[in-house]
Amino acid sequence: MTYQKGRIKDNKLRSGYAEFLKLNPQYTAIASQDQPMNALQPTTSVYNIGYDAPSQKWGVDMYITDVAAKKAKDSFNSQWTSMVARKEKQYTTIEKKEASKANGKEVKDSRGLWRNNRYTVIDTIAYWKPIKNLTFTAGVYNLTNKKYLTWDSARSIRHLGTINRVETATGKGLNRFYAPGRNYRMSVQFEF
């Protein structure tokens, strides 16, 4: 199991870096702020139950992946100043909307707009080796057909531009960022 958690706290540079600070004074303004890191994934646990036949010709595995929700205090919306402080407008095909709303809720601080909820996914995978160099593998992924948003997808959503865009005020377009429902995969591997 992998565990990672972090926030930048009191990340002030030591006095030996004075020359660097003269060249880049903006760095100290950014680095000394207590801000969460969007690169850190929510707590994830993966459990595995499996069986391999004594002949090593076939086997079955079931993986249960449990992912915690990304906490608001652990996320950061880098565009929040343009949304709240400057009160930019959003232009849609019908009307202008205040950019200080996201998914129907008021944006009041720099927390990430889109976060994943807690989810648990079950995957089952089976293999068969009829001969030494040939392996057939088949799997059913997201067996329970759970609708969920991964943190990687959520943090890539922007409120400006045309790539990874969702209508911020209403959340329209968010469904395309959800992970696939129940899906199937088959593969054949021949080693030589």
**Distance between CA 51 and CA 165 in Å, rounded?**
44
**Distance between CA 21 and CA 28 in Å, rounded?**
7
pLDDT given at position 85: 54
Give the model confidence (pLDDT) of 72-131 as tens digits. 777 776 665 555 555 555 544 455 555 556 656 666 665 566 778 899 999 999 999 999
**Distance between CA 127 and CA 140 in Å, rounded?**
12
For the chain, which residues make up each domain, given as ranges?
Answer: 41-190
Least confident interval from 51-55, 74-78, 91-95, 181-185? 91-95
The mean pLDDT value of the chain amounts to 75
Please, are residues 138 and 60 in contact by the beta-carbon 8 Å criterion?
A: no
> What confidence category does residue 12 fall into, taking pLDDT thresholds of 50, 70 and 90?
low
**Distance between CA 70 and CA 116 in Å, rounded?**
6
